[in-house]
């Protein structure tokens, strides 16, 4: 347990909040320092002021997971900040209840600013939760119905996944990510339903699952056989949104290549 770091982290998070941020009525107007008071945090976390004060002064006992979870809620911590709080206290962050499926506004705006790049955002279980017009032109129009899942398309609906040189590898990548999702969100009904569907419908999925594949996101090059544009040599790069356990997949072509010219044409048509 990193007592000093934990104490500093609690003080910093408390200083960054105001009573109206957490639904409290300000206790007086002559605050000597900005942020919430210790008694306000203790009230929100349903603990004694003395106990919370000792944590901030690096002289308290190691807090339990229940206490840490209460502090995370009281201080309005994000998923990433909550995980950091647990690690400072020497605990492993418990899995979240559900995979995050909302797209942060700045991520959505980034997709709009990339007209010459295909871009999709996927959640922890490969559900497609955001996309731009070029990505839809490259990957198929069913992205727009809001229910597309790349793992489901890979294993259960190959007609919706255009043939490409990375199809076999993507099977292992998808299973590795789904295994992580199953570990992190054991109580998410949508993740559980997807896994049950894949197990029931795909022998290939069951076989790869039993292999316990491990893959890290990164750069890959593949040839996509588009039904209208023909063969396209594309680069796929993944950006992580770690606080939400999401990935942004960016699809480009080498500058000046025939595939880049085709992407430019597709982007114009999509727009």
Closest CA to 137 of 258, 253, 251: 251
The pLDDT value recorded for residue 159 is 57
User: Would you call 151 exposed, middle or buried from its count of C-beta atoms within 10 A (0-12, 13-18, 19+)?
Assistant: buried
What DSSP element (H or E) covers 149?
A: none
Q: What is the average per-residue pLDDT within 218-227?
A: 89
Cα separation, 45 vs 25, whole angstroms: 16
Q: Output the pTM of the full model.
A: 0.69
Mean pLDDT of all residues belonging to the chain: 88
Between 18 and 117, residue with greater pLDDT: 117
Q: Which residues does residue 120 pair with via DSSP β-bridges, in sequence order? A: 131, 249
The pLDDT value recorded for residue 1 is 76
Residue 52 has pLDDT above 70, yes or no: yes
The pLDDT value recorded for residue 101 is 87
For 172-213, the pLDDT digits (tens) are 999 999 999 998 888 899 999 999 999 999 999 999 999 999
Give the β-pairing of 118-122 and 246-252: antiparallel
List of domains in the chain:
3-88 (1.10.260.40), 105-270 (3.30.450.180)
Distances (CA, A) of 261 to 141, 169, 266, 268: 21, 27, 9, 11
55 CA to centre of own chain: 30
The pLDDT value recorded for residue 122 is 95
For 121-171, the pLDDT digits (tens) are 999 999 999 999 999 999 886 776 778 899 999 999 865 666 677 788 899
Q: Are 82 and 97 in contact (CB under 8 A)?
A: no
pLDDT band of residue 92 (cuts 50, 70, 90) is confident
Contacts (Cβ under 8 Å, ≥6 apart) of 236 = 166, 219, 220, 221, 222, 249, 250, 251
Closest CA to 217 of 165, 188, 180, 184: 180
Q: Are 16 and 31 in contact (CB under 8 A)?
A: no
The pLDDT value recorded for residue 143 is 75
For 229-266, the pLDDT digits (tens) are 999 999 999 999 887 889 999 999 999 999 999 999 99
For tokens 């996927």, what's the residue? 122
Count CB neighbours of 101 within 10 A: 16
What DSSP element (H or E) covers 122?
A: strand 118-122
pLDDT band of residue 61 (cuts 50, 70, 90) is confident
Cα separation, 206 vs 140, whole angstroms: 26
Contacts (Cβ under 8 Å, ≥6 apart) of 128 = 120, 121, 122, 143, 148, 149, 150
Q: Which residues does residue 233 pair with via DSSP β-bridges, in sequence order? A: 223
Q: Which residues does residue 223 pair with via DSSP β-bridges, in sequence order? A: 233
For 6-51, the pLDDT digits (tens) are 999 999 999 988 887 777 665 555 566 678 899 999 999 999 999 9
């Amino acid at each position: 347990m990193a007592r000093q770091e934990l104490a500093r982290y609690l003080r910093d998070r408390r200083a960054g909040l105001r009573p109206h941020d957490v639904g409290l009525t300000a206790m007086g107007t002559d605050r000597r320092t900005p942020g919430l008071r210790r008694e306000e945090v203790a009230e929100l976390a349903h603990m004694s002021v003395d106990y919370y004060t000792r944590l901030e002064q690096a002289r308290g006992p190691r807090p339990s997971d229940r206490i840490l979870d209460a502090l995370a809620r009281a201080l309005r911590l994000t998923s990433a900040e909550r995980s950091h709080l647990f690690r400072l206290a020497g605990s492993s962050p418990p899995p979240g209840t559900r995979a995050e499926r909302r797209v942060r506004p700045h991520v959505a705006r980034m997709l709009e600013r990339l007209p010459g790049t295909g871009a999709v955002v996927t959640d922890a279980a490969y559900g497609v939760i955001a996309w731009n017009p070029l990505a839809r032109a490259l990957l198929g129009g069913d992205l727009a119905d809001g229910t597309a899942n790349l793992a489901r398309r890979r294993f259960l609906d190959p007609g919706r996944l255009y043939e490409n040189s990375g199809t076999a590898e993507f099977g292992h990548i998808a299973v590795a990510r789904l295994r992580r999702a199953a570990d992190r969100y054991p109580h998410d009904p949508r993740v559980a339903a997807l896994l049950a569907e894949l197990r029931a419908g795909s022998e290939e999925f069951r076989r790869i699952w039993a292999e316990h594949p491990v893959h890290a996101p990164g750069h890959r090059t593949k040839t996509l056989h588009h039904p209208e544009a023909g063969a396209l040599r594309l680069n796929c790069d993944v950006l992580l949104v770690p606080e939400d356990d999401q990935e942004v997949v960016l699809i480009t072509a080498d500058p000046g290549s025939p595939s880049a010219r085709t992407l430019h044409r597709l982007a114009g048509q999509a727009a």
